[in-house]
């Protein structure tokens, strides 16, 4: 089959290319083999993605409860990160979730650091699964098709939990099918002596050699965006003897650095704290790699000694099975020791990450603070982010209420112009927020949601539209007050006091509204809201009746009465 590459390439100027291709095909390597290798890697990554997403959907609510239960106990956070990563089999997914939770204000930086440290230990479970099922006597890839058969009834189930379980099973089968193809697709370097000579020329125990291996591991992980896939490749190369154990260990260290790129990419469009959480992840792994590089030869000797003590190997680094087990031991030992060392330096690492990302605060500048529109996240987490953004939206409209109230009483003309300009700017902001939150919620609604989540999304869409209308009303009120001033229309002290009393009740309503927006779904205080609404209606009815009497008695002119009536009616709306 590989020799098909030579067809039609033996004449004219193509002779040299033909000879080059022939050289590779005769040595067992061709363009087709390259495509098979890339395809095998793609199948491995896709299997991991399907498996991770399936378990996240199945345990989404529980996972949120676990992460939300973080307390001041740092070690509980570490255990939570370990457990979450061990369940979903992706440290990248865990750290992106942590960054998202920090972005949504559900975790602080200290809590996030604990989860991140635990995630680094949890990711070592994947390498052990690969070693046990992918390289052990029990070859799980031969059970892939039966696993597909097992998953089919779950996939077509109407219940979302069963469907998610089916996706997890299929992802699990695809992952190990991909691993099997990956092992078969790796080129036989024994037929490429020049490559082997090049690799072994790098062998050694110097710092330069270790740094080169770390760089290779970092770049591979950054390219394929998965430390687990990079680890699988390293295990295969080390198992087949294509790279020495020292180089494989250095690559594992680099993979720990490379995996931090995912969280940093996720934090690009997040707020300052989410960026700091991502920096903490990078600092944790980079600091860990630095101290291991310093003691690298002694660290490897400790690994070798511990394996010799088991009695199974006299020279574990020379045995194919011993090498991959030693590499997994190295991976686990590095992450566990790094956690035990750096857990006592949480405060300085948090402080350093805070200094690395400065926060710019301007109340009159708007950007989405909680929603990460460019990051694929779970629907449950997306709903939490949207709720935080809607709560922020409510606070912005409350700020407009305060500005409109001040505009009513302000006497300085310059300050009045500034207030009118600010209210107009805020009206534009509310329009933008309504569009962006609406688009985000619409995307979430396209996912498979539970009944509760669907109701939550629908309620936020309704609230989102209502808050935009509130912003429009305050803008219209500012224009009415501006028109009153331009036409030199004056309110009586009674009119002004009545409007200020109405504002007092409106301010109370905004406080209740914002408390309810920040509360958990369906746990807001509806009774207080209803009582305040009735109080507003009663005040509006009182002002309307009093206004009609004053108009009949001609206590103020028609234009003043019209603007006055528009203002208290607008406040009721």
Give the pLDDT confidence score for residue 139 in this predicted structure: 54
Contact 271, 234 (CB under 8 A): no
Give the burial class of 477: count Cβ atoms within 10 A of its Cβ; 0-12 exposed, 13-18 middle, 19 or more buried. buried
Q: Which residue ranges form the domains of the chain, and what is each CATH number?
A: 188-361 (no CATH), 380-572 (1.20.58.220)
Give the burial class of 127: count Cβ atoms within 10 A of its Cβ; 0-12 exposed, 13-18 middle, 19 or more buried. buried
Contact 377, 100 (CB under 8 A): yes
d(CA 3, CA 140): 33
Give the pLDDT confidence score for residue 506 in this predicted structure: 92
Whether the CA torsion 333, 334, 339, 345 is positive or negative: it is positive
Q: Is the pLDDT of residue 117 over 70?
A: yes
Share of the chain above pLDDT 70, in %: 76
The per-residue pLDDT of the chain, averaged, comes to 78
Give the pLDDT confidence score for residue 521 in this predicted structure: 80
Residue 25 pLDDT class (50, 70, 90 cuts):
very low
Residue 465 pLDDT class (50, 70, 90 cuts):
very high
Question: Rg of the chain's alpha carbons, rounded to an integer?
Answer: 32
Q: Is the pLDDT of residue 7 over 50?
A: no
Contact 168, 49 (CB under 8 A): no
Residue 8 pLDDT class (50, 70, 90 cuts):
very low
Give the mean pLDDT of 330-354.
91
Give the pLDDT confidence score for residue 6 in this predicted structure: 39
Contact 539, 499 (CB under 8 A): no
Give the mean pLDDT of 196-219.
73
Give the pLDDT confidence score for residue 178 in this predicted structure: 72
Lowest mean pLDDT among 283-297, 377-391, 396-410: 377-391
The neighbour count for residue 301, using CB atoms within 10 Å, is 11
d(CA 140, CA 440): 40
3-state SS assignment for residue 59: coil
Give the mean pLDDT of 329-355.
91
Give the pLDDT confidence score for residue 466 in this predicted structure: 93
Q: Is the pLDDT of residue 338 over 90?
A: yes
Residues in the chain: 573
d(CA 221, CA 115): 21
Q: How far is CA 506 from CA 78, 91, 366, 428, 500, in A?
A: 45, 47, 24, 22, 10
């Amino acid at each position: 089959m590989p020799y098909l590459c030579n067809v039609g390439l033996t004449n004219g100027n193509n002779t040299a290319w033909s000879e080059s291709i022939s050289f590779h095909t005769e040595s067992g390597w061709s363009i087709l083999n390259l495509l098979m290798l890339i395809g095998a890697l793609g199948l491995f990554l896709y299997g991991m993605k399907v498996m991770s997403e399936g378990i996240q959907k199945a345990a989404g609510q529980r996972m949120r409860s676990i992460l939300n239960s973080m307390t001041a106990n740092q070690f509980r956070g570490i255990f939570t990160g370990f457990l979450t990563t061990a369940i979903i089999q992706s440290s990248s997914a865990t750290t992106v979730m942590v960054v998202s939770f920090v972005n949504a204000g559900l975790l602080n930086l200290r809590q996030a650091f604990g989860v991140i440290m635990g995630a680094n230990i949890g990711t070592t479970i994947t390498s052990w699964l690969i070693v046990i099922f992918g390289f052990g006597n029990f070859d799980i890839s031969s059970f892939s098709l039966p696993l597909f058969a097992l998953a089919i009834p779950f996939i077509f189930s109407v219940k979302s939990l069963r469907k998610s379980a089916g996706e997890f099973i299929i992802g699990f089968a695809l992952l190990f099918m991909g691993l099997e193809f990956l092992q078969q697709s790796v080129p036989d370097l024994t037929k490429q002596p020049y490559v082997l000579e090049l690799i072994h020329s790098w062998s050694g125990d110097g710092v330069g050699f270790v740094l080169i291996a770390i760089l290779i591991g970092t770049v591979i992980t950054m390219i394929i965006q998965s430390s687990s896939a990079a680890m699988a490749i390293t295990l295969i190369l080390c198992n087949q003897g294509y790279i020495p154990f020292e180089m494989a260990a250095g690559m594992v260290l680099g993979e720990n650095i490379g995996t931090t790129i995912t969280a940093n990419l996720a934090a690009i469009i997040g707020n300052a704290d989410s960026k700091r959480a991502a920096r903490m992840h990078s600092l944790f792994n980079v600091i860990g790699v630095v101290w291991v590089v310093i003691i690298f030869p002694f660290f490897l000797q400790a690994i070798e000694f511990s394996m010799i003590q088991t009695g199974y190997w006299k020279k574990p680094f020379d045995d194919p099975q011993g090498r991959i087990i030693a590499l997994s031991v190295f991976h686990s030992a590095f992450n566990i020791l790094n956690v035990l060392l750096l857990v006592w330096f949480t405060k300085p690492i948090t402080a350093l990450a805070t200094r690395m990302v400065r926060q710019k605060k301007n109340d009159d500048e708007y950007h989405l603070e909680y929603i990460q529109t460019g990051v694929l996240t779970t629907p449950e987490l997306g709903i939490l982010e949207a709720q935080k953004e809607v709560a922020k939206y409510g606070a912005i409209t409350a700020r407009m209420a305060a500005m409109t109230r001040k505009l009513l009483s302000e006497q300085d003309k310059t300050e009045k112009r500034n207030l009118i300009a600010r209210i107009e700017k805020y009206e534009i902001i509310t329009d933008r927020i309504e569009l962006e939150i609406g688009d985000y919620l619409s995307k979430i609604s396209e996912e498979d949601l539970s009944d509760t989540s669907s109701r939550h999304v629908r309620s936020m869409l309704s609230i989102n539209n209502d808050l935009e209308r509130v912003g429009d009303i305050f803008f219209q009120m500012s224009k009415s007050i501006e028109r009153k001033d331009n036409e030199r229309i004056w309110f009586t002290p009674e009119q002004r006091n009545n409007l200020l009393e109405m504002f007092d009740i409106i301010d109370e309503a905004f406080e209740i509204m914002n408390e309810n927006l920040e509360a958990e779904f369906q746990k807001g205080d509806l009774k207080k809201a209803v009582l305040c609404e009735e109080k507003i209606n009663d005040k509006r009815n009182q002002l309307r009746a009093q206004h009609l009497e004053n108009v009949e008695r001609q206590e103020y002119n028609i234009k003043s009465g019209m603007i006055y009536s528009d203002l208290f009616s607008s406040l009721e709306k």
